[in-house]
Amino acid sequence: MLAAMFPGQGAQRLSMGNGLFERFPQLCREADDILGYSLRSLCMDGPIERLTETQYTQPALYVVNALEYLAFMEDGGEKPDYLLGHSVSEYVALFAAGVLDFASGLRLVQKRGALMAEAKGGGMAAVLGLTAEQVEDIIAREGLTDIFAANYNTPKQIVISGKKETILAAELLFQNAGAMLYKVLAVSGAFHSPFMKESQQAFAELAKGLEFKTPQTPVISNVTARPHLPADIRAKMIEQITAPVKWSESIRYLLAKGLEVSDFKEIGPKGPPILQPMVKRTQLEAGPLDAETLKQEEEAKRAGAQAKSAPADKKETVTSASVKAASPLVNGKLNGVHKPATKPSVRLGSQEFCNKFGLKYPYVSGAMYRGIASADMVIKMANAGMLGFLGAGGMPIKDVEENLAKIQASVAVGQPYGVNFISHFNRPHAEEALTDVLLKYAVPVIEASAFMEVSPALVRYRAKGLSRTGDNIHVKNRIIAKVSRPDIAANFLSPPPDKMLDKMVSERALTAEEASMLRLVPMADAVTVESDSGGHTDQGNPFNLIPAVLSVRKKAQERFPGFGPIFVGAGGGIGTPEAAAAVFMLGADYIVSGSINQCTVEAGTSDAVKDLLAAANVYDTGYAPSGAMFELGSKIQVLKKGLFFPSRAEKLVSLYNQSGSIDEIDTKLAQQIQERYFKRSFNEVLSEIRERSSADDWRKVETNPRYKMSQIIRCYYSDTTMWALSGNMDHKVDFQIHCGPAMGAVNQWLKDTELEDWRKRSVDALGKKLLSETAELYGRRLTAAMQGGAIG
């Protein structure tokens, strides 16, 4: 079985429909004649600001989705058993089912978009983490007479619609009720609510003169979440303008009819899926509708009775009579706002940071390379209202794509996630390749690591997410930069250098408009001050670094007053409530936990490594030369208890510094290194290097003895990493495990608790426990200080 789904507003993007306009020229000419402008030019060239305006978005999506469906069928696609479209794209489903011809559907959509664009004074917000019943209960309990549930996207992703000022003011109510995210949407009207009554009446006049044929394939109605009845299609499509979109119930209905998640196919603009994750979330959060209920409905239909559905996502349909003149706003605040029954003694970090990045908590899990910070970890963090970064460093591009596809299929739209972007100073092509993937999958935020200055690839990622409305620059692609020096923070809190921008424009990597916008915003939205940490470290002290970077932030804020708040976070050495409270007191807007997350269920490393980490104490780590930059004297912090890696790495780099080539090493010592460190000969190592090297790189190995020696040493680092990740016990003493003393501190803190055993230690549970106990400790000590008591 197959259900074809068509995404609605929000799926639009530049270049959508690429190749389709040439493939279906007659339909494109027909569309241009109806619309009065070139749709191909709008979709290909933009500007994006125009493409995102409702009166242009809706016709564009209708045409592109319809052409994508025709292409799918022409290319041998399976004929769907069911069709459904989200909001405006229900018209695409009707076209695909033969209810409306292409031109009639487009005329209706054009009129619909124009009417909805004229609606002013309204707003919408996405509420994540609350059920439909909880959202409706808040609306009823608080007397929010001008807010309505508008889109039931998943059982726990509800979009509300109503007066703009009430939508803005209601945020606290929903957050206090436990919403993971409350995101105000960029719309001008209260769509799918009784406030659209005038638009509905005007639309009904046009629809009255069109013929709606019997569907050749069942089309699921947004209004009823059941297949359209032929006689009622016109009335339901008119009602759709004011009625809520029962998307999740539509999915649950089809699941109850026997479809699996894999039977749903999203057909629409190329790019990250919009509807597919909703199907997955609906299946996970609620599953199919009750089979007995569906059986009763079918029996009622067969008996000729009026079908009475029992919607799962809404108790009753809202009508225009529900709108009352009274506003719940009193002096700009919601009348009757209740304080939460329980609340922490203090608010940790920055609420503005949480709002900007779509978080419930000011908590981030940093990236650990080669996928130790796994897709499962990122998904777990996102579903808990925290931000996790995928450890893309050292990961092949194809693996990055596979992990992103998994993440995007498992998190709801609007939930936070990001990707680590590590500097490759000598390999700019690697940065550019990663940027291509980030843009392809529309990754919303990256963690820029190990950069001394911004690179062209970072600039391109930033630029492709910028847009302008008047004098305001809007940022879509956000950057959080990890820094360990104030001067590097200053680089990221400034625009890119003019010389770089001019060069990128001349090379057509940027447009002149993109360069112009980049000059008006800082490169990063936030900087994480990285103190002494596991892995690469400058061994910095947070009590010196954080105040210095806060001073840099202050100057940047003054330079970009219209940009909005710039945030400073803290990472490195944070693993206990005491450490977290200290950096929050210093002024951190959020905290980043790092290598402590290796010892969680979701970490992408071996159980053997997790067992070693779980047994570590605060004195069980040490420093070793960095495998990537040992020539520069760079250090990494690693686990040393029971392991030879730190001393062996130190020995190899010492030999590098003392010798001109691998052949100058004492014969007996060289034999020991080959037998004990590498478990094979230098010649065998060189053969492996040759297999994976380019011709130019291998020529350098052959002609430069120092370079040859450095590449052999780097093989030891690569081996020790892979042995640890795979849990190869034959090489246990050589495991390279990046870790700082915070791991030992975590183990002491969690001793005799439910999270002592790492097998019960999920990354989100660890984060919530850390924040909860930090808030309690912070408040207790603050109270003691104000009372003049002991604060120890």
Residues annotated as catalytic (active site), given as ranges: 87, 192
Tell me the three state secondary structure of residue 120.
coil
User: Burial, 363: exposed, middle or buried (Cβ in 10 Å; 0-12, 13-18, 19+)?
Assistant: buried
Beta bridge partners, 567, equal 526
Burial readout 608-628 (b: 16 or more C-beta within 10 A, e: otherwise): bbbebbbbbeeebbbbbbbbb
Beta bridge partners, 519, equal none
For the chain, give the number of residues: 792
Using CA atoms, how far residue 753 sits from 345, 747, 749, 750, 760, in Å, is 23, 10, 8, 5, 10
Tell me the three state secondary structure of residue 329.
strand
Separation of alpha carbons 25 and 30, rounded Å: 9
Eight-state DSSP code of residue 597: G
Separation of alpha carbons 530 and 588, rounded Å: 12
- Which token pair is 166? 């009430």
Pairing state of beta strands 329-330 and 181-184? unpaired
Separation of alpha carbons 542 and 571, rounded Å: 9
Q: Is residue 228 a contact partner of residue 221, using CB atoms and an 8 Å limit?
A: yes
**Which residue in 647, 637, 648, 613 sits closest to 750, CA to CA?**
613
Separation of alpha carbons 773 and 361, rounded Å: 14
Separation of alpha carbons 204 and 459, rounded Å: 48
- Give, for 526, the enclosing helix (H) or strand (E): strand 526-530
Contacts of 307 (CB under 8 A, 6+ apart): 226, 297, 300, 301
DSSP string, 148-164: EEEEEEETTEEEEEEEH
